[in-house]
Structure 1
Amino acid sequence: MADTQYTEDNIRSLDWKEHIRMRPGMYIGKLGDGSSADDGIYILLKEVLDNSIDEFVMGAGKTIEINIKENTVHVRDYGRGIPLGKVVDVVSKMNTGGKYDTRAFKKSVGLNGVGTKAVNALSTYFRVESNRDGQSKSAEFETGNLVNEELLEESSRRKGTKVSFTPDETIFKKYKYRNEYVERMLKNYVYLNPGLTIVFNGEKFYSDNGLKDLLEDNNNQEDFLYPVIHLKGDDIEVAMTHSKTQYSEEYHSFVNGQHTTQGGTHQAAFREAIVKTIRDFYGKNYDASDIRKSIISAISIKVMEPVFESQTKTKLGSTDMGGDLPTVRTYVNDFIGTHLDNYLHKNQATADALQKKIVQAEKERKELSGIRKLARDRAKKASLHNKKLRDCRIHLQDMKKDRRLETTLFITEGDSASGSITKSRDVNTQAVFSLRGKPLNSYGMSKKIVYENEEFNLLQAALNIEDSMEDLRYNNIVIATDADVDGMHIRLLLITFFLQFFPELIKENHLYILQTPLFRVRNKKETIYCYSEEERRQAIEKLSGKPEITRFKGLGEISPDEFKNFIGDDIRLEPVMLDKAMSIDALLKFYMGKNTPDRQEFIINNLKVELDLVEENQLQPK
């Protein structure tokens, strides 16, 4: 082998734009196409928005306007405006920003001076405009390169900053902003900043009651065991209740307005503080899992100079509150110890309902303990030769791995379908769990069934969510079944299982349906996969002449070589979302209870479209 020279010429120094464009994952987590809430296009919006939020926190500007039209995003605030002489530097020079000056921004989010630079570098079009002191300065960029700047000596525009950008399609492939994800992000901002109004495409978002509104808007209140307990202090706010229907624990945690989806020191302290306070209040040494079972809660704290465990700030690493304040653990423990205890003393009905729930949880846990041990032994044995799970190398808990947010578990049915996915998957980030036939209808059953049913028990073990959502091994759980009547039924049965026992997987947007093409349209030069009747018509038009049209009846008949086109960069996922207007219990009763005329009518109306499509296309040439 030829000797490869290693000289000064091999050492290449990338400028800031090149580095961000070459390694976008270091700055924004993952790329994606907008089908997942943590895809890069939402992080770009968040980075711009964080600066406007910091202005509001500093008492400058009570309204932020956001417009998204044809993938171009506009964010306008009415804060102080960027100092005019620094408009270009702030969005194009690394480590430049006002957040380094703690006098100006005491407890802000955007601390690293990287945010807007990353947005600039990853956008084909980026424009920033600052209005202050009766003047206006704007600068325009393309992929981070300055193409135009302008200063208006006299301007009547209201003070503040406006940023517009179009994410680069060569980096974010075939992306689309989903309003549901944008709205959810904006709601979190207004819950954390009472008094702030955000207007998104003409719709107003505003919150009077902070985290109390968060819990009430995210759930149907009929599912609550008792009214939300809402506690506020100088640098802390807490809201909590327990669910009548869900088994698992649910936490929404925030630091300086940043949604820490991976938790961290503040969330750990909160979980610990609830257990200690409740044990002390009732004078009984209840098991921690019985106290926290079914909790639905939110905590927000403000910390000086927070330390996060990743660039996208999803997990708090700080142990101190900053300044003269105590540790995060002590601060949270003291606050909960005083205020939750006071609340329970003053609200006897809540205290009684809570104690009854803990006793019930204890009874269920003891009933389950024997079967749980058996199930664990069985799962251990099965995992040694578990043919159901073909695992991947990277998992969601690998905090140091760039691609951990791409981790995906496909749940498939039948040998041929799972064989195709297994052969064409990315072994680093994609795992496959294979079902044997139709899963059990778990509606109305107790947690006991999860351990007694081998399939459910192994699925729970694969996801690693028996004790806590914090240990979830995959960011995306994708149901991959055929689009026929049987496939639809399997989807429904799996969604029932997750709704019944792990609803926060759905609430936190981890559950998806894999969209696979209905048709392949091709001629000798080009192949187009079509996911709808409309796409098929467009493909026939585009290829003209008489292209060959194939209708895919099931996943099993798609070859592995072809399948890799549908689970790679161009994967299409449909998120499973909860209807907040219906309680989880009512939702399950409607879909999975005894057959009702309402449901029959719903199924007939919704299935008709699919069957019409199948019948029509059986007439098409193959």
Structure 2
Amino acid sequence: MEEESKYTEDNIRSLDWKEHIRLRPGMYIGKLGDGSSADDGIYILAKEVMDNCIDEFVMGNGKKIEIKLKDGLVSVRDYGRGIPLGKVVDVVSKMNTGGKYDSKAFKKSVGLNGVGTKAVNALSSHFMVYAVRDGEKKGATFSRGELVEETKVEKTDERNGTYVEFLPDEKVFKKYAYKIPYLEKMIWNYCYLNRGLAIHFNGNKYQSKNGLQDLLENNMDGDPLYPIIHLEGDDIEVAFTHGKTYGEDYYSFVNGQHTTQGGTHQSAFREAVAKVIKDFYGKNYESSDIRQSIVAAISVKVMEPVFESQTKTKLGSLEIEPGGKTMRTFVNDFLKVKLDNFLHKNPQVADILEKKIKQSEKERKELSGIRKLARDRAKKASLHNKKLRDCRIHLTDLKKDRREETTLFITEGDSASGSITKSRDVNTQAVFSLRGKPLNSYGLTKKVVYENEEFNLIQAALDIEDDMDNLRYNKIVIATDADVDGMHIRMLLLTFFLQFFPDLVKRNHVYVLQTPLFRVRNKKVTKYCYSEEERRDAISKLGKNAEITRFKGLGEISPDEFKNFIGEDIRLEPVLLTKKASIEETLSFYMGKNTPTRQEFIMDNLRVEKDLEDEIKADIEETIEKAS
């Protein structure tokens, strides 16, 4: 006991910069993840390198950036001024070294404290940088922050600029994989906010002519009710329209940084747009009716912005610059002039907008009665609600470290939900058990959300009736069997979310749980296989006498085994929307009245169980033959 209580100089140690980053990566890049979420660490690494290139462009240096991704290795080349050759090593390996402390040089930059590339360096198994300035080139190679090689200054014909390549360290980011749609979204956002910039990614060119107007046109679901209103001023750009979906959809940016969690600028816009529109019509419309179905983007430039975390996803600044206007006043003053002028000059748009507001008002009043009944019913049900096994921490618990891990599993049947419930982490994982197949909500109005008990309870569990700000879980995971019935339930749930709460999908909150198809084991080792390829690989490693079990449903998997699939090795497939078809077109195809086109699609893609069994059997025989 005496030994344990000693507290001497030996207990105190200073970590060097790379040790600290590797020990506490969350302080620098947020959560780690495996690449299935858009805010996982591997994307933050790419963003930190890109931000430096963007800052060069903003300062008027270099209009082209080249990005390549192959086998997990990311390379980024800009054509800016290039890091000063004598500082190439320091800039990527010494804390508090950078060019952004002098506000004259980087008045409204994306990066803040010169930490970004150091974090990338420390968290990469391979990191290489070189700079070119006026015919001279110098570079360095690192591994996990340790300098491996530093080249001498040499002559070159290359254009000025900086090149960085890195391979995220698998010791930190386990079983990671980049998802191209997430990288493309990040690249497009850089282009929307930096007109004139061309980004080449794996041979494809990305460029925007109309800024935030292009962003809305490319991301809106279906056609806008009226042409996009696009307004620009000093240090602010705004674009918005109304669509046909429920909810409010916002894209907000500060100094080119996508603030996915909003912040003071987004709140100021929501408040100001409602106020200016009320004043224009001279009627006291409800703000929620004005904003219902709005799709908007706002970008502001702020001097010395204050973010709520190192990953800069939520703006905390109350002022546009130290000692200057408040964010509320700045945004309101801008819209008061620009939006009011626009509506006066475009009476047709003003007319369509007012009709939309009145329609939202009518719908809200129609729903108010049934909403009260549903709330009363939900309150009673929640006291005895066996559908939801809740967790202790929620996304709304802003002071809790693990709130980003919060997950709601939506399962079918008692056996599957029972296994997940027994093996889950009670702090961060909740389970909602469905009773049979949900209603097909395609083409129905929001009234059904209140009339259908199951939908109403899902909405109550998520707490998203009024807006997304109260969402209680960061991830909503559909956990159904990988059979025909399971797939159908998956589609019915996605129809419900896309129809009434599309922001859940658009903001990357909805996932599908991947569960193993096979278990391959011998007396010493057990391997869970999620694909035919993994199964073949497991058999070749464990030998021809390995026992092979095929899982046909989640209910077959015991709680002891289930904890392997929903713990740190969880595999989630994000539900991503593509630009190929709108939500309306997609739902119409899959969930509308049966059509010959859909029947053809199903027949062309149908795999009969017997054929699959025969194929698996042949594969096993072939693998055993090779192994022996």
Q: Distance in 2 between matches of 1:474 and 1:180?
A: 23
Alpha carbons of 1:517 and 1:254: their partners in 2 closer, same or farther (altered >3 Å)?
A: same
Alpha carbons of 1:346 and 1:554: their partners in 2 closer, same or farther (altered >3 Å)?
A: same
Alpha carbons of 1:125 and 1:329: their partners in 2 closer, same or farther (altered >3 Å)?
A: same
Q: Which residue of structure 2 lines up, in the alignment, with residue 197 of structure 1?
A: 198
Displacement after TM superposition at 1:611 (Å): 6.6
Q: Which residue of structure 2 lines up, in the alignment, with residue 434 of structure 1?
A: 433
Q: Which residue of structure 2 lines up, in the alignment, with residue 340 of structure 1?
A: 339
Q: Which residue of structure 2 lines up, in the alignment, with residue 238 of structure 1?
A: 238
Q: Which runs of 5+ in 2 are unaligned?
A: 622-628
Q: Distance in 2 between matches of 1:497 and 1:521?
A: 37
Deviation per CA, 1:420-463: give whole Å up to 9, x if none: 11122222222211111111111111111111111111111111
**How do 1:59-208 residues align onto structure 2 when only pairs under 5 Å count?**
59-208=60-209
**Does the CA-based 8 Å contact 1:139-1:150 persist in structure 2?**
yes
When structure 1 is superposed on structure 2, of 46-55 and 367-376 the one drifting more is 367-376
Question: Does residue 612 of structure 2 align to residue 586 of structure 1?
Answer: no
Q: Which residue of structure 2 lines up, in the alignment, with residue 449 of structure 1?
A: 448
When structure 1 is superposed on structure 2, of 134-143 and 320-329 the one drifting more is 320-329
Displacement after TM superposition at 1:323 (Å): 5.3
Deviation per CA, 1:473-532: give whole Å up to 9, x if none: 222111000001110010000000011001121122211111111111111122121112
Q: Secondary structure at the match of 2:250?
A: strand
**Does the CA-based 8 Å contact 1:321-1:328 persist in structure 2?**
yes
Question: Does residue 366 of structure 2 align to residue 364 of structure 1?
Answer: no
How many residues get paired? Answer: 619
Deviation per CA, 1:15-61: give whole Å up to 9, x if none: 11111111111111111111111111000000111011000000001
Q: Percent identity at matched positions?
A: 74
Question: Does residue 212 of structure 2 align to residue 211 of structure 1?
Answer: yes
Displacement after TM superposition at 1:569 (Å): 2.0
Q: Distance in 2 between matches of 1:220 and 1:365?
A: 22
Displacement after TM superposition at 1:538 (Å): 2.1
Q: Distance in 2 between matches of 1:177 and 1:607?
A: 29
Question: Does residue 524 of structure 2 align to residue 525 of structure 1?
Answer: yes
Q: Distance in 2 between matches of 1:36 and 1:611?
A: 36
Q: Which residue of structure 1 lines up, in the alignment, with residue 570 of structure 2?
A: 571
Alpha carbons of 1:589 and 1:91: their partners in 2 closer, same or farther (altered >3 Å)?
A: same
Q: Which residue of structure 2 lines up, in the alignment, with residue 23 of structure 1?
A: 24
Q: Which residue of structure 1 lines up, in the alignment, with residue 624 of structure 2?
A: none
Displacement after TM superposition at 1:151 (Å): 2.1
**Does the CA-based 8 Å contact 1:551-1:617 persist in structure 2?**
no
Q: Which runs of 5+ in 1 are unaligned?
A: none
**Does the CA-based 8 Å contact 1:25-1:402 persist in structure 2?**
no
Q: Distance in 1 between matches of 2:543 and 2:205?
A: 47
Q: Distance in 2 between matches of 1:401 and 1:82?
A: 39
Deviation per CA, 1:229-280: give whole Å up to 9, x if none: 1111110011111112x11000000000011111110000000011101101
Q: Secondary structure at the match of 2:152?
A: strand
Q: Which residue of structure 1 lines up, in the alignment, with residue 403 of structure 2?
A: 404
Displacement after TM superposition at 1:610 (Å): 6.4
Alpha carbons of 1:404 and 1:594: their partners in 2 closer, same or farther (altered >3 Å)?
A: same
Q: Secondary structure at the match of 2:570?
A: coil
Alpha carbons of 1:618 and 1:82: their partners in 2 closer, same or farther (altered >3 Å)?
A: closer
Question: Does residue 53 of structure 2 align to residue 37 of structure 1?
Answer: no
Q: Distance in 1 between matches of 2:181 and 2:460?
A: 30
Aligned Cα root-mean-square deviation (Å)? 1.7
**Does the CA-based 8 Å contact 1:519-1:531 persist in structure 2?**
yes
When structure 1 is superposed on structure 2, of 599-608 and 463-472 the one drifting more is 599-608
Q: Distance in 1 between matches of 2:611 and 2:349?
A: 53
Question: Greater relative contact order (Cα 8 A, min sep 6): structure 1 or 2?
Answer: 1
Deviation per CA, 1:116-139: give whole Å up to 9, x if none: 111111111111111113321211
Q: Which residue of structure 1 lines up, in the alignment, with residue 389 of structure 2?
A: 390
When structure 1 is superposed on structure 2, of 4-13 and 140-149 the one drifting more is 4-13
Q: Which residue of structure 1 lines up, in the alignment, with residue 539 of structure 2?
A: 540
**Does the CA-based 8 Å contact 1:125-1:165 persist in structure 2?**
yes
Q: Which residue of structure 1 lines up, in the alignment, with residue 59 of structure 2?
A: 58
Q: Which residue of structure 2 lines up, in the alignment, with residue 272 of structure 1?
A: 271
Q: Distance in 1 between matches of 2:609 and 2:468?
A: 35
**Does the CA-based 8 Å contact 1:193-1:210 persist in structure 2?**
yes
Q: Secondary structure at the match of 2:588?
A: helix
Q: Secondary structure at the match of 1:320?
A: coil
Q: Distance in 2 between matches of 1:197 and 1:502?
A: 34
**Does the CA-based 8 Å contact 1:55-1:61 persist in structure 2?**
yes
Alpha carbons of 1:406 and 1:443: their partners in 2 closer, same or farther (altered >3 Å)?
A: same
TM-score normalised to structure 1 length: 0.96
When structure 1 is superposed on structure 2, of 375-384 and 312-321 the one drifting more is 375-384
When structure 1 is superposed on structure 2, of 371-380 and 477-486 the one drifting more is 371-380
Q: Distance in 1 between matches of 2:440 and 2:611?
A: 28
Q: Distance in 2 between matches of 1:428 and 1:330?
A: 41
**Does the CA-based 8 Å contact 1:63-1:198 persist in structure 2?**
yes
Tell me the amino acid that sits aligned with residue 232 of structure 1.
Answer: E
Q: Distance in 2 between matches of 1:454 and 1:15?
A: 56
Displacement after TM superposition at 1:618 (Å): 8.4
Q: Secondary structure at the match of 1:64?
A: strand
When structure 1 is superposed on structure 2, of 124-133 and 102-111 the one drifting more is 124-133
TM-score normalised to structure 2 length: 0.96
Q: Which residue of structure 1 lines up, in the alignment, with residue 226 of structure 2?
A: 226
Displacement after TM superposition at 1:615 (Å): 6.4
When structure 1 is superposed on structure 2, of 110-119 and 180-189 the one drifting more is 110-119
Q: Secondary structure at the match of 1:41?
A: helix
Tell me the amino acid that sits aligned with residue 270 of structure 1.
Answer: F
Displacement after TM superposition at 1:606 (Å): 3.0
Tell me the amino acid that sits aligned with residue 43 of structure 1.
Answer: I
Alpha carbons of 1:285 and 1:381: their partners in 2 closer, same or farther (altered >3 Å)?
A: same
